[in-house]
Amino acid sequence: MRLDREHAHALDAADPLRAWRDRFVVPHSDEGRELVYLCGHSLGAQPTLATDYVEEIMRDWRNLGVEGHFAARRPWLSYPERLAPALARLIGASPQEVAVMNTLTVNLHLLLVSFYRPAGERTALLIERHAFPSDRYAAESQVRFHGLDPARDLIELEPRDGESCLRTDDVVAAIERDGPRIATVLLPGVQYLTGQALDIGTITAAGRRAGCTVGWDLAHAIGNVALSLHDADADFATWCHYKYLNGGPGAVGGAFVHERHANRGDLPRLAGWWGHDQATRFEMGPDFRPSPGANGWQLSTPPVLAIAPLAASLEHFDTVGLTALRQKSVALTGYLEALVRARLSRKVTILTPEDPAARGAALSLRLEVDRNRARTIFDGLRTRGILPDWREPGVIRAAPVPFYNSFDDAWTFVDALQSELG
């Protein structure tokens, strides 16, 4: 593969998705210079259409008041439900299995109330040792909520010595070994620090064989890699919308509940009015009757202003399709990897799996220098107009997102990182 800048320009010229960059607002420096924005795995760039969607709601609110719930161009009462088909296509589910609600960790707690039901000898919750802190906090607090001891009832997986990623065989082996103790398996679709895409199908099957409920955190997976939650037979999943789905800072989250649980009255849950069956919701009765499917886990009236940017972004996803985005993503991330290996191999270790099927649109690069020096290098990138993100200890995560990043962005990043490393 050619690795000169001219070749990067040639790849961009041949990119069938290159025009989509103009439909996003790439962040700028204080001087008005467009940044090389490689942080879409943390906060996606703003779709230009988002402003129109938000202003539409503001206009309807101004002109219609409360009647906007029914009479707005996109009625607020059904606003989140309109997004379910597009989200269902992204995670491989039916619309009934998807709900737009709350935020990721709130949804995680709500779903664990239903699906983490320790009883008898089956009391443990299986997670990864290096889970995103919010997931670990949620898991540990759920264990304590049930009067159990995390030292005994929180089982944590970790990679083998000298490795950065979990092996699927090791995860399956752990489930098979501790299966009689495990009530629930909770793992990430894509690991936040390494960027590893876990084998959801194989792991879920192992958990189900062992009699466990199985849930997934899809924060870094949705809109990034192909998913088949329904066919994988996962019990539940949750995610945020502000990373690859470009829903804006703190955007409303999403949840998946498999259709086999759609009408289960025996599942305990925390209830709210918005989760009540729509047919009788406005009768204001005292008895809770959950909506079928994932919507039955909703609590409160959805914040449509916060959902509007997501609606704009999903319009783009539906137009382009995840297949085309994933095709570019594989090529773009592969190009970034080739540049790093060719120019930085002595000073950088790639933590992300080499196999494209085992990763999404990001590489995690551990700088082989001391921590203070690594931080100085990262800060130096920012002064050069390049914005990846930083994770302890000494890891730079760079995400070339196919909607708005280019091959030239990848080249510029590596060239600058090489200069900063010296």
Cα 288 to chain centroid, rounded: 31
* Domain extent at residue 358: 5-34+322-421
Position 20 pLDDT exceeds 90: yes
pLDDT at 31: 83
pLDDT at 167: 98
Q: Are residues 153 and 169 in the same domain?
A: yes
pLDDT at 2: 85
Q: Are residues 296 and 404 in the same domain?
A: no
Q: Are residues 107 and 134 in the same domain?
A: yes
pTM equals: 0.96
pLDDT at 390: 96
What is the average pLDDT across 26-54? 95
Position 357 pLDDT exceeds 90: yes
Tell whether the torsion through CA atoms of 25, 28, 34 and 38 is positive or negative: negative
Position 30 pLDDT exceeds 90: no
Position 1 pLDDT exceeds 80: no
Judge residue 282's burial from the number of C-beta atoms within 10 Å of its C-beta, 0-12 exposed, 13-18 middle, 19 or more buried: exposed
What is the average pLDDT across 113-140? 97
Is 44 within a domain?
no
CATH (domain of 341): 3.90.1150.10
Contact (CB, 8 A) for 57 and 308: yes
Q: How confident is the model at residue 8 (pLDDT cuts 50, 70, 90)?
A: very high
Q: How confident is the model at residue 186 (pLDDT cuts 50, 70, 90)?
A: very high
Q: How confident is the model at residue 226 (pLDDT cuts 50, 70, 90)?
A: very high
Q: How confident is the model at residue 414 (pLDDT cuts 50, 70, 90)?
A: very high
Position 248 pLDDT exceeds 80: yes
Q: Give all strands of the β-sheet with 389-391 in edge-to-edge order.
A: 348-350, 363-367, 395-398, 389-391
Question: In the predicted model, what is the mean pLDDT of the chain?
Answer: 97
Q: Are residues 175 and 285 in the same domain?
A: yes
Q: Are residues 347 and 308 in the same domain?
A: no
Is 43 within a domain?
no
User: What tens digit of pLDDT does each residue of 80-104 get?
Assistant: 999 999 999 999 999 999 999 999 9
Q: What percent of the chain has pLDDT over 90?
A: 95
Q: How confident is the model at residue 234 (pLDDT cuts 50, 70, 90)?
A: very high
φ and ψ at 95, to 5 degrees?
Answer: -55, -35
User: What tens digit of pLDDT does each residue of 276-301 get?
Assistant: 999 999 999 999 999 999 999 999 99
Position 266 pLDDT exceeds 90: no
Q: How confident is the model at residue 76 (pLDDT cuts 50, 70, 90)?
A: very high
Q: What percent of the chain has pLDDT over 70?
A: 100
Is 328 within a domain?
yes
Q: How confident is the model at residue 385 (pLDDT cuts 50, 70, 90)?
A: very high
pLDDT at 29: 85
User: Measuring CA to CA, which residue among 116, 114, 111, 85 is closest to residue 98?
Assistant: 85
Q: How confident is the model at residue 302 (pLDDT cuts 50, 70, 90)?
A: very high
What is the average pLDDT across 245-255? 97
Position 172 pLDDT exceeds 80: yes
Contact (CB, 8 A) for 101 and 252: yes
Among residues 291, 318, 345, which one ends one of the domains?
Answer: 318
Is 48 within a domain?
no
- The count of domains in the chain is 2
Among residues 295, 318, 341, which one ends one of the domains?
Answer: 318
Q: Are residues 62 and 176 in the same domain?
A: yes
Q: Are residues 254 and 329 in the same domain?
A: no
Position 140 pLDDT exceeds 90: yes
Q: Are residues 93 and 225 in the same domain?
A: yes
Q: Are residues 107 and 16 in the same domain?
A: no
pLDDT at 32: 83
What is the average pLDDT across 21-34? 91
Tell whether the torsion through CA atoms of 390, 391, 395 and 401 is positive or negative: negative
Q: Are residues 187 and 74 in the same domain?
A: yes
pLDDT at 155: 98
Position 201 pLDDT exceeds 90: yes
Helix (H/G/I), strand (E/B), else coil: 392: coil
